[in-house]
Amino acid sequence: MTVVVDSSVAVKWFLAEPDHADAVALSKTAEQMYAPELLIAEATNVAWKEAIRKKITAEQAHAIAAQIAQAPVRFISIADLHKRALEIAVEINHPVYDCLYLACAERFEAYLITADRKILNKTRSFAYSNFVMLLGDQIVRNDAVSKPLHISRETLERAINATALFEATHRNVVEQIAKNQDGEFKFHSAQEAAIAFQSPAYRALERIYASLSHEEKIDFLALGWLGQGYSGSNWKEIRQRAKSYISDDHARYILSLAIYLRAGLQIFDRQS
């Protein structure tokens, strides 16, 4: 499992705090841990606070400062994250400091593991909630997929519902034009059935897709392919292929795969 850790988790490696065992277990079992370089300063600051509160000695604080810089974490330059962190901060109205960790998780398609319920609650109504996991929760997960979805479950459900309405509209249109005045079956052209694509249901589906970020559109397509079953079942490989296929020219085709979203999501969940 690839994860991003914040300082609320990192300090538990050294301090006898609640969830200390979970934090240590994470450091030993994660395939790769990432964090913004800010984590070093934040963890060191916690060590200073613990020292002035006489909860640890000055020597222990210095030891934490030395060890955190040598932790098995790949530290990412703030200069590589700060612009995206600012965009997220503006979107969710939350300090850039915390959003650096969200930007890092987004970049590496990893879960942000935190012991800070504030960031968990703050992202709950945004797609970023898909990246945030409370320390300890990762222990009960099977991480065969090990990658979070960028697109939210709520958005997927809206797309699935809009697709169901469009399918019903399309069937109704086809039934109406499939019979001549004598009630006998007749063949119809795609042009005759095109009116269904002007329906409110299809327009709603188009608006949902148009509102997605680039990464969310990749998830949309990859889940469609996964549910369709023609592209295998390896999520990582399917999503990688989807990255090179997203374009406005392919939007109609991608929307046609929306009928497979629920099946794709079910497969994704079984793998995770």
What global pTM score does this model have? 0.60
Average pLDDT taken over every residue of the chain: 86
Contact 158, 211 (CB under 8 A): no
Backbone angles phi, psi at 34, to 5 degrees: -120, 160
Give residue 60's pLDDT.
94
Bridge partners of residue 73, in order along the sequence: none
- Calculate mean pLDDT across residues 15-40: 91
**pLDDT-based confidence at 201, cuts 50/70/90?**
confident
Which tokens belong to 91?
Answer: 């979107």
Strand order in the sheet with 111-114: 74-76, 32-36, 2-5, 111-114, 132-134
Q: How far apart are CA 87 and CA 90, in angstroms?
A: 5
Per-residue pLDDT reduced to its tens digit, 144-153: 445 678 888 8
Closest of 253, 249, 236, 246 to residue 216, by C-alpha: 246
Structure tokens at 233: 């079942």
pLDDT at position 191: 57
Q: Output the CA torsion sign for 167, 208, 117, 80.
A: positive
- Residue scoring higher pLDDT (7 or 17): 7
- Polymer length in residues for the chain: 272
Question: Could you give the domains of the chain?
Answer: 2-140 (3.40.50.1010), 153-271 (no CATH)
Alpha-carbon distance of 245 to 243, in angstroms, equals 6
